[in-house]
Amino acid sequence: MLGSEYFRCPPSLSPPLERQTMKKCRICLRESHDGIIIRAPEMMIGTKEEFDYLHCSTCGGLSLISIPENLSWYYEQKYYSFASRNISRPKVGFKAAIRRRAALGKLGSSNVGDRFAHWVRPVYFNWIFRGCMSLDSRILDVGCGSGALLQEMSSYGFSNLTGIDPFLPDDHMSLAEGPRILKAYMKDMRDERFDVVMLHHVFEHLEDPQRSIMEARDLLSAGGRVLIRVPLADSYAFRKYGRFWVQIDAPRHIFIPTASGMYGLAERAGLQIENIIYDSSGFQFSGSEAYLRGMSIEQSANIFSKSEGGRFHDYSIFLNLIRDGDSASFWLRLAG
């Protein structure tokens, strides 16, 4: 049975913190005269510098008020996008066949594959839904980092994979028979079309969410979809932890929308939300509890017991079921 201690929201940690005069929300583009400023510390690296976020009184989202000129520094210091395993060749043989069956089961293309999907647990198990793609779909991963996700998808049989990231090192490698990894922005791909354009916890790092979602839209093939996985400010974790909520991730997260904010962004871009899958994890508790104790992620690596980690995991499953988890996957397609 779930304990009650993690479902209390201490008033001292929850907004409001400070009233502001007038700022514009990056998500709904409204000027918020009576919004609230959340002063969030940088805690992933552990500098503890404070950054002001507007908590919009209209859509409920968070917007970083002033982007630091040295923002790139906060990515260079032990950030994780390029810290993944080296590019490897696609797997072949019996294990590859099992992974392919698992993929087909999750994609809805094989009844036998259903059993494999629950056994093997593909990396995309929590955010994919049936009918949205096939193994030969043209898939673009925006902000792919080293391409680890695409490598994993390739091992499950996905065959037409492209990743782009403008901050890839100049000497990055891309194997001819594996995923195509390019140092590029979305605007550089305008001559190509994709069945799925994915932004996995990349969207919130972009300065202009409306322009970004429209750039993704313009890369879609007929019947294509945009997948955006993003943290959500209308979540239990933000209500509980306030400025110490781990998903604020100041100053790297330029904005954090609510579900209603995502609907507004989609509508203005001529898109409609087809499905929402809440996919938060126990990290919303373990990370936030660490920040609350003044610890960086690295410092907090071993402070929670296995049983505590299990409880955090169980809480996250419950919150996802009631659509109150702190992150979700949004599947969007062209309206009409």
Encode the chain (336 residues) as per-residue pLDDT tens digits: 445 454 554 443 444 444 444 479 999 999 877 779 999 999 999 999 999 999 999 999 999 999 999 998 888 755 655 444 333 444 444 454 444 554 455 555 544 344 444 444 555 556 776 667 888 999 999 999 889 889 888 888 889 999 999 988 876 666 567 899 999 999 999 999 999 999 999 999 999 999 999 999 999 999 999 999 999 999 999 999 999 999 999 999 999 999 999 999 999 999 999 999 999 999 999 999 999 999 988 888 789 999 999 999 999 999 999 999 999 999 999 998
Whether 260 contacts 302, CB under 8 Å: no
CA distances, 70 to each of 25, 40, 43, 73 (Å): 22, 17, 17, 6
- Rg of the chain over CA atoms, in angstroms? 20
Burial of 98 (0-12, 13-18, 19+ CB in 10 A): middle
The DSSP H or E segment spanning 130 is: none
Q: How many CA atoms are closer than 13 Å to the CA of 99, on its beta-carbon side?
A: 19
pTM of the model: 0.84
| Rounded Cα gap, residues 321 and 22, in angstroms | 37
Q: Output phi, psi for 12, to 5 deg.
A: -70, -20
In this structure, the strands spanning 50-55 and 62-64 are antiparallel
| Rounded Cα gap, residues 253 and 63, in angstroms | 8
